[in-house]
Chain A
Amino acid sequence: MPDAPATPMLEMRGITKSFFGVPVLEDVDLDVRPGEIHAILGENGAGKSTLMKVLSGAHQPDAGTIVLDGQEVRFGHPSEAQNAGVSIIYQEFTLLPVRTVAQNIYLGREPHRGPLVDTRAMERATADLLRSLNVEAAIRPNKAVRSLSIAQQQTVEIAKALSFRSKVLVMDEPTAALSPHEVAALFERVRLLRERGVAILYISHRLREIFDIAQRVTILKDGRRVGTVDVPATTSRELVRLMVGRDLDNYFPARAAPADIAEPRLTVRGGGVIGVLQDIDIEVRRGEIVGIGGLAGSGRTELAQALFGVRPFDSGSVEIDGKSIRVRSARQAVRRRMGFVTEDRKMEGLVLPLSVRDNSLLALRSLGSFLRRGRSAIPIAELLKILELRGAGLDREVRFLSGGNQQKVVLAKWLASAARILIFDEPTRGIDVGAKAGIHDLMRQLARDGAAILMISSELPELIGMSDRVVVLRNGTIAGELSPGATEADIMFLATGEQDVAGAA
């Protein structure tokens, strides 16, 4: 293979972008050469997706320039970028499931004679594209996309990108939903594109893949570029250090003393959900906060949903306070005094046009019997005082509150229904730093008062700082459990499966 020429196909210089005054990207540089696979590595929230959206024209940068093939460009719309030769394959595919492969690839650009679509020409062109990817046997141009496997659908996305004669192809976590066998096939195709001189940006946080396929890797952290290194000259250890090596100066409340942790409140043995989770053994004790770590797609949210009855366990047993039970719906979970602070506050946690009071009473009112049995919790006004919900009257619609205050209303909902087992999915996502500490204090206070807490977080400092134990998931099963002294690197090694390196660390 000839050496890649040194002139970059794409150069991004000094890209800066902030949303509502919060900086998301600061002075980021990135370049990729023709025939190069350039990986972009970073934790969740490091700015990878925003950088790609700036490239595609979905977002406009506040500062910085983009030079494509020697010319400065500025894309106002993703289709402009596409026509200029920049294609992005997102994690969520944008294909129309009931339309055929050919119809999807040439959507909006159908070969035509007058108003009529030239189906034959379209399918022939599609067949040529598929042949150039060596998949013409498996994928027929006239097949409906929904009859294809995920890997095949991804191949269709690649073929679509090819049809634009892309000079730059961005792949956003392309292997997240693929089996190892499919990953190998994907890599073959990606190398094929590379040999044709396409410049490829490959976003991933699976270290092994980066070593398998990339020539260079740029590491982003907290919206800044930490460094760009040649892959052959680096080690996974160095990459992890670059990716997570930040100062742990955040403030977290003190952990539980051994005496505060009492009997198990929630025990799962051999829990499984077909195709998503298997062999889940987990125990959460009274007074304890158990952190759940893992990469996106490792089954974290699915675990929370299984516990809460949203998509119940198909196998295994669950005990609450020593009693074997089955949670088959969210309603049953609420009756068993579980609470679920979901990742998506606005969609799943709150009814935005309702008042603070009505939202706080949502769970309680759904189970009117609590009230009659006198098991009701604290009056709402008092509850909100405890939560220190400032600047918001009881009758205020929650859509007008800040993210931190909204999260407190979600918490109020579960406190009002006297939940004793609380599951938090990304409890401080999108919440500013000051409010974060408030939520963290509250969580610890709840544990001290006897709640058992399970906390999912992709923010490693939070996971380490808040948890009494950390359980790490990988590929739908438990990869390991870490005690309080664990480092970010320990978690990342468990989450990515780089066991060998973890041993050396």
Chain B
Amino acid sequence: MTTPPVTMPGGRGSRIEAIRSSVASTNAAPIYLVLFVVFLAAWLIVSLAGGHFVTIDNLTSMLVRSVALGIVAAGQTVVILAGSLDLSVAYLISVSALISSLIMNGDPSRIVVAVLAVIGIGVIVGLANGLLVTKLRVNAFIATLGVGLILRGLLNAAFDNFAGKVAPQFEVLGYGTLGPIPWSVIVLAATMLGVWFLLRSTRFGHHLYAVGGNEETARLSGVRSHRVVIGAHILCSLAAVLTGLFLVARIRAGAPWIGPDGGYDLESIAAVVVGGTALAGGRGGVWGTFAGVLILAIIDNAFNALQFNSFVKDVVRGVIIVAAVAIYAQRERRAGR
């Protein structure tokens, strides 16, 4: 039995059952086993080395560290399910952080304007990605890489250091808590639940799976597949914008390296595929992605506690990513026979 470590609203039995069945049906069940094993291993190793792993403080810090990757990976899940992907998220995160920090410039009255402005940018970038992929039929890898490069060029031409300053009230998103729970973790949970609900219960979500699974079938069933893919790209870009807002609230000022230094483009894709979502689209879900994000965060946290060589950390991450995807491939092959 898997026990998804998800904070459940209301705690209605049917909800839990629905989540459980959606975890099972999206092939994500085994990843929670992996998560469990990684968690135990990290606990054991850190404890043996004399550190503290399972403390409220450490678990909270792990969750907060998962917020940035978690939000962007939730968005990445949506585009990947649609059969596309998005490599421009890292630079969009930087754009979001920089522009919001510049607009606010320490003035709380401009928070709303700043947020609306970066949301607008997110919609435009997502629309651009989606139009390139659907109408111009540019391969998603190239289209979003190109859009990312354009953003990078613009960023580097205009900025080479921290710029602007967030309003003190805005830092709540990075540091504030509601009772014992950090606001950022609440935002992450809300994003995950939002995407889960979108995928499970809306027509858009149903069409997303169909388009990613077999675009021709979806089209012949009357689904407007281009709109679905474009919508997915816009959602993914908005997730990147939200990640940028969270990061700038923590760092307190925007800088062009925030996104790329975090490696959010490739790492979000890694989290999605580790979570059992097929890179080809049409199969998977956001709870697997959540587990993937947590696994990466646990590895990070454990290696930090051990103060171990970070190259070893990369090796371990690489092994886990490849192993997880290999296991999915084998399961698929057996299911296909």
Residues of A within 8 A of B (CB): 78-79, 94-99, 103, 107-110, 112, 115-117, 119, 144, 146
Contacts and interface: CB of A to CB of B under 8 A. Distances in A.
Contact of B218 (A78, A108, A119, A146): A108
A96 B222 contact: no
Contacts of B206: 99, 103, 107, 110, 117
A93 to B, nearest CB: 9
Nearest to B278: A98
Contacts of A95: 217
Interface stretch (B42-50, B208-216, B289-297, B301-309): B208-216
Contacts of B216: 94
Contacts of A116: 201-203
Contacts of B217: 94-96, 107
B233 interface: no
Contact of A99 (B209, B223, B335): B209
A96 B282 contact: yes
A108 B282 contact: no
A381 B214 CA distance: 44
A107 B201 contact: no
Contact of A117 (B201, B213, B283): B201
Contacts of B214: 94, 96
B330 interface: no
Nearest to A77: B220
B220 A115 contact: no
A98 B218 contact: no
Interface centre among B202, B204, B217, B221 (most CB of A within 10 A): B221
B252 interface: no
A79 B222 contact: yes
B222 A119 contact: no
B161 interface: no
Contacts of B221: 79, 107-109
B25 interface: yes
B283 to A, nearest CB: 5
Interface centre among A97, A99, A103, A146 (most CB of B within 10 A): A99
B165 interface: no
B204 A115 contact: yes
30 contacts: A79-B220, A79-B222, A94-B217, A96-B210, A96-B213, A96-B217, A96-B282, A98-B26, A98-B209, A98-B213, A98-B283, A99-B206, A99-B209, A99-B210, A107-B210, A107-B217, A107-B218, A107-B223, A108-B210, A108-B222, A109-B222, A110-B203, A115-B202, A115-B203, A115-B204, A116-B202, A117-B201, A117-B202, A117-B206, A144-B25
B220 A94 contact: yes
A119 B197 CA distance: 13
A108 B213 contact: no
Contacts of A109: 221-222
B223 A108 contact: yes
Nearest to B205: A117
Interface string B71-89: 0000000000000000000
Interface in B315-337: 335
A98 B282 contact: yes
Nearest to B25: A144
B72 to A, nearest CB: 24
B152 interface: no
A425 to B, nearest CB: 23
Given A96-B210, A107-B223, A115-B202, 18 more contacts: A78-B220, A79-B222, A96-B217, A98-B25, A99-B209, A99-B210, A103-B210, A107-B217, A107-B218, A108-B221, A109-B222, A110-B206, A116-B201, A116-B203, A117-B203, A117-B205, A119-B201, A144-B25
A112 B205 CA distance: 12
A119 B221 CA distance: 18
A168 to B, nearest CB: 17
A108 B25 contact: no
A95 B220 CA distance: 11
Nearest to B197: A116
B65 interface: no
Nearest to B216: A94
Contacts of A99: 206, 209-210, 213
Nearest to A119: B201
Contacts of A144: 25
A119 to B, nearest CB: 7
B176 to A, nearest CB: 32
A144 B26 CA distance: 10
Contacts of A110: 203, 206
Contacts of A96: 209-210, 213-214, 217, 282
A144 B282 CA distance: 13
A96 B25 CA distance: 13
Contacts of A146: 335
Contacts of A117: 201-203, 205-206
Contacts of B218: 107-108
A108 B206 CA distance: 8
A110 B201 CA distance: 11
A375 to B, nearest CB: 37
A394 B1 CA distance: 63
Interface centre among B26, B206, B209, B283 (most CB of A within 10 A): B206
B331 to A, nearest CB: 12
Nearest to A93: B217
Interface centre among A79, A96, A103 (most CB of B within 10 A): A96
B222 to A, nearest CB: 4
A146 B27 CA distance: 13
Nearest to B220: A78
A96 B26 CA distance: 13
Contacts of B203: 110, 112, 115-117
A97 B336 CA distance: 10
Contacts of B335: 146
A95 B218 CA distance: 10
Contacts of A103: 206, 209-210
A10 B321 CA distance: 56
B27 to A, nearest CB: 8
Contacts of A119: 201
Contacts of B202: 115-117
Nearest to A78: B220
A79 B218 CA distance: 11
A51 B214 CA distance: 25
B12 to A, nearest CB: 16
Contacts of B220: 78-79, 94
Contacts of B207: 107-108
A455 to B, nearest CB: 30
A115 B204 CA distance: 8
Nearest to B337: A275
Interface string B6-26: 000000000000000000011
B241 to A, nearest CB: 22
B220 to A, nearest CB: 5
- Which 7 pairs of residues, A with B, have the shortest CB-CB distance? A108-B221, A108-B222, A107-B221, A96-B213, A108-B223, A98-B283, A94-B217
Nearest to A79: B222
Interface centre among A78, A107, A144, A146 (most CB of B within 10 A): A107
B15 to A, nearest CB: 14
B123 to A, nearest CB: 18
Contacts of B222: 79, 108-109
A116 B213 CA distance: 21
A352 to B, nearest CB: 19
A27 to B, nearest CB: 29
